[in-house]
Amino acid sequence: MFTDDLQNALYQLYRYQADLEKTDSKHDPWLQKYIGEHLQISIGGKPVAFRFVGYEIEEEATWCYLEATSFPGEGPADIRNRLLYDFLPEQTNMIHFYRNGQRSSYKLVNPDASAKL
């Protein structure tokens, strides 16, 4: 996500003033809360529990990393991603999903929020 857009979303929703360019673990709970409320993943109709493992800044973007240590079912992953959709009607989200060493990618453009990988 663009860093300024993400910071704006955190402020508008939670009144949390984040300066993500200053990498600090104090931002992690707020990022996890925001991502957890706007991104859901399920496999075989069962929700996947994931944890926020960190973020990094690359030029104007903030890359957030999530990890699931186990999958509750078999089959394709259903992903619902509404990150920044509430604030940016033109938002586009790229999903890179790794499972058993295999990468699947998908591009979502607001209002389309669902992908099956």
Task: Tell me the per-residue pLDDT of 82-93, one tens digit each, with 9 for 90 and over.
Answer: 999 999 999 999
pLDDT at 101: 85
CA distance 12 to 91: 17
pLDDT at 2: 94
pLDDT at 37: 96
pLDDT at 79: 93
Of 39, 44, 25, which Cα lies nearest the Cα of 83? 39
| Collapsed DSSP state (helix, strand, coil) of residue 16 | coil
- List, for the chain, all residue ranges whose pLDDT scores fall below the cut of 70: none
The answer to whether the predicted template modeling score (pTM) of the entire model surpasses 0.85 is yes
